[in-house]
Amino acid sequence: MLDLVLSIVVLAAIALLAGAYFLWRRTGNAKNAALMVVLAFIALINVAIWTVPTTDGEAPLDKVERGSR
């Protein structure tokens, strides 16, 4: 289930980046486009936090799925 949530977050980040580009090109509104890029960056960082392995070689996502700390 967590894999599905992380996949949706990545797709949302891609959609935010595409939307920011089209918003910037169509209206020239750089402030809102920049905020969308920042939000996409934060979402991707959160996905990386959950999926990148720690020093013990195991990702936090794997620990949660196993049910151990």
Mean pLDDT of 11-34: 96
Res. 44: pLDDT tops 70:
yes
In angstroms and rounded to an integer, the radius of gyration of the C-alpha atoms of the chain is: 16
Which two tokens mark 47? 């996905």
In this prediction, residue 69 carries a pLDDT of 56
Judged against a pLDDT cut of 60, whether residue 54 lies above it is answered with: yes
What ranges make up the beta strands (E) of the chain?
A: none
Q: What is the DSSP letter of 67?
A: T
Is the CB of residue 53 less than 8 Å from the CB of residue 59? yes
pTM of the predicted protein model: 0.83
Whole-number pLDDT of residue 4: 92
pLDDT band at 24 (very low <50, low <70, confident <90, very high): very high
End-to-end Cα, the chain, rounded Å = 18
